[in-house]
Chain A
Amino acid sequence: MNGAPPVAASGLLFNSAPLHALVLGLVVVSLCMGVAAWSIWYERKFAARMQNRPGPTEVGPWGLLQPIADGLKMLQKEDIVPAAVDRPLFELAPLLVVVASLGTLAVIPWGDGLVIADLHIGVLFALALSSLMLLPVWMAGWASNNKYALLGGMRAIAQGVSYEIPLLLAATVPIVLAGSFRLGDIVEAQAGLRWFALWPPGPGAVAFVLFFMASLAEANRIPFDIPEAESELVAGVTVEYTGMKFGMFYLAEYLHTLIASAIAATLFLGGWDMGPLGAGVHWMVLKTLVLFAVIFWIRWSWLRLRADQLMALSWRWLVPLGLVLVMASATWVVLA
């Protein structure tokens, strides 16, 4: 038994803590998968509105049932396994990619005590698992035995090693300010609208932007989606995947984006707390979805960077910026 009790006594759904965790886990995981699936509809609608077109309209009212139709379609697709693939890795990669992104959900606090596992190393756990997603992506790239997939996998690794460091450095800022790894403590340190994105007026905001950028890169979203870059690598790592296995990659991308938004909302936007407007799950969900929408907005308005430019951006600008930010936030704590 290390660290504090897993859940605050007031937040227990059931008398038994394991049951609470299990039920909460089921609810959170299925809700997040639902949101991720539904967000595909939302993104398509969002993009369509940006591009003067109606978007999905046929399935259900306003096309709302489109994700279900897509899912059913994917279930019925033939699962083609090319002859030359490395079979075990090829089959395992789409499973792992979803597991890696869903595992991160365990530590995200959705409300006071409403967290599956309140680890005292929450930030580290979240960052570690979310960068673990690189591994299945590389597995898929290697196992496909396809040059496009291999190039995609290479790029995924290159991008991962470049953006991991700005991500870690940016995440250090709220840790320094809050003095804790526990995501719950970080949220409480921001109580009363003293969001880390706003409060140390300079470094906080920059760190938030840095963290957000690096999260986009980790989640392979435009302008950092070079591993799947469909205009040059066709579909990158997923090129040989069909049916539900491709769907798993697709789902994992959205899940990862959702989780990155949730972590950013927790670390920098005060999580479930909204100061005088009260606290609750709805604020956390709202903040997450707003960040989620910002990611869509970025995706549908920006072009893609080239692989070497992407790495140069990280190593030449973001890494030193992260170092400066850590120093600035430490100075802030001393002064305050």
Chain B
Amino acid sequence: MRMPLDLLLPSWPDPHLDLGEYDPEADLVALNMGPQHPSTHGVLRVKLYLDGETVVKAVPYVGYLHRGVEKLCEKLTYVQITPIVDKNDYVSPMMNEWAVNAAFEALLGVEPPPRAQYMRTIFAEIQRIASHLISIGTWGLDMGGAIGGGATVFLYCLRERELILDLFEEVTGCRFHYNTHTVGGMRHDLPAGWDKRAKAVLDRISARTWEYERFLLDNPICRQRAEGIAVVDPTLAMELGVSGPILRASGVDYDMRRDAPYGAYGDIDIQVPVRTEGDALARALVRIAEMRESARIASTLLDGVPEGPIGALKPVKLHGAVKLKDGEEGYAAIESPRGELGTYVVAARERRGAASPYRLKIRSPSYHAISLLPWLCPGHTLSDVVVIIGSIDPIMGEVDR
């Protein structure tokens, strides 16, 4: 007898389903999806057990992009770590830099000057837009294929992102891995007239967010593919430590920028977009609303950037200037585009005249989001799996570190 799927998979399905308990006549096929797969956003590997095209069980495997970043950081000085962690969440490098430097500042007890705080916040918000653009665009690729309508969405998103990269290039000289944050402040000051250009870009982008919203809402195919797919249970999500847009799309009104302000977020009130549907479409809509909100925050902050120094201490002097005791620790977290991006750092005694951490741990939001997959995939078809992976938007560089 074939057991109906909804008996096996209640609203909160058991991801560790013993396949022996599933219908023995179902002829399950085990299929590796990834690591070399166009739609697993890098090198995520999901082992799927398929009954026809329906997924019965999904087991994600991570570690195919492990570079040992955390271990590497133990060998580097606090100043040298920034360009390394740039490559973690390679879609939003500014966030990595800020998260790791905020932890070092907490450890060293340094407060960046207000101008640096404002610059960080503005950069972070602009970076959030760029990151969400990639997220929406690649989600389009997942639904429509690299040689189809999805590619059109993707390239429209990249068109806007290009403007943002130009802005960052003007400040830092780099388009991607900026290395502009440092312990106690920033390396590069804003060039003259940058704020006007940035505002023009932000206006343009926030005017264009309607295009993406219309693409999602007015396109019946997109709605059919995304609506009601992979509904995330808020309790489950919180238990797994999921944060960011995934949690906000499930009705949990939690945003660190508003609830635990850091940087310049205390000076501005933030409307946090929340949706209650919890499905893939809601997650994308939350991201689009966040893009619009980020553009507003960044434009508002650009008006009030205070004058003054951009660094609290001279980076070159960091070697000897700061005396740290063994075992002192610091933690700082910021709201990255994917959720709570935290860094935990334990200080070590100076080794060979260099101040390096004894241990550095990065709490990456994507890692926690990936752990949702075993709950989300069962009951959906193989085609839905790529939509689900796209909608939780994991960055494997950040997951595997």
Contacts and interface: CB of A to CB of B under 8 A. Distances in A.
> Do A and B touch each other in the complex, judged by CB within 8 A?
yes
Interface of A: 47, 50-53, 147-148, 151, 155, 222-223, 225-226, 229-234, 299-309
B143 A303 contact: yes
Nearest to B142: A231
Nearest to B155: A51
Interface string B24-46: 00000101000001110000000
Contact of A223 (B53, B159, B221): B221
A302 B149 contact: yes
B149 A299 contact: yes
B151 A230 contact: no
Given A303-B221, A308-B381, A231 B146 contact: yes
24 contacts: A52-B156, A148-B31, A151-B382, A222-B144, A222-B145, A222-B149, A223-B149, A225-B145, A231-B143, A232-B382, A232-B383, A299-B149, A303-B150, A303-B219, A303-B222, A304-B143, A304-B149, A305-B225, A306-B224, A307-B53, A307-B383, A308-B381, A309-B224, A309-B225
Nearest to B149: A302
B148 A232 contact: no
A299 B221 CA distance: 13
B152 A232 contact: no
Contacts of A230: 38, 145-147
A51 B148 contact: no
B202 interface: no
A-B pairs, 9 with minimum CB distance? A303-B144, A51-B155, A222-B148, A302-B149, A231-B39, A306-B383, A303-B143, A303-B221, A232-B386
Given A234-B37, A304-B148, 20 more contacts: A51-B152, A222-B148, A223-B149, A223-B221, A225-B145, A230-B145, A231-B144, A232-B382, A300-B148, A301-B149, A301-B152, A302-B149, A303-B140, A303-B143, A304-B144, A304-B145, A304-B221, A304-B383, A306-B224, A308-B381
Interface of B: 29, 31, 37-39, 53, 140-152, 155-156, 159, 219, 221-222, 224-225, 381-386
Contact of B149 (A232, A234, A303, A306): A303
Given A51-B151, A222-B148, A306 B37 contact: no
A106 to B, nearest CB: 30
B133 to A, nearest CB: 14
Nearest to B31: A147
A229 B142 CA distance: 10
Nearest to B154: A51
Contacts of A306: 224-225, 381, 383-384
Contacts of A307: 53, 381, 383
B175 to A, nearest CB: 18
Contacts of B143: 231, 303-304
B152 A53 contact: no
Contacts of A308: 53, 381
A95 B191 CA distance: 62
B39 A232 contact: yes
A229 B151 contact: no
A300 B145 contact: no
Contacts of A51: 151-152, 155-156
B392 to A, nearest CB: 16
A225 B148 contact: yes
A47 B156 CA distance: 12
A303 B148 contact: yes
Contacts of B29: 147
A2 B213 CA distance: 60
Contact of A299 (B37, B148, B224, B383): B148
A89 B159 CA distance: 45
A301 B386 CA distance: 19
Nearest to A226: B383
Contact of B150 (A50, A151, A231): A231
A46 to B, nearest CB: 11
B49 to A, nearest CB: 12
Nearest to B32: A147
B144 A302 contact: yes
A47 B151 contact: yes
Contact of A300 (B31, B37, B149): B149
A330 B37 CA distance: 51
Nearest to B153: A303
A308 B383 CA distance: 10
B91 to A, nearest CB: 19
Contacts of B31: 147-148
Contact of A229 (B145, B149, B155, B221): B145
A323 B282 CA distance: 38
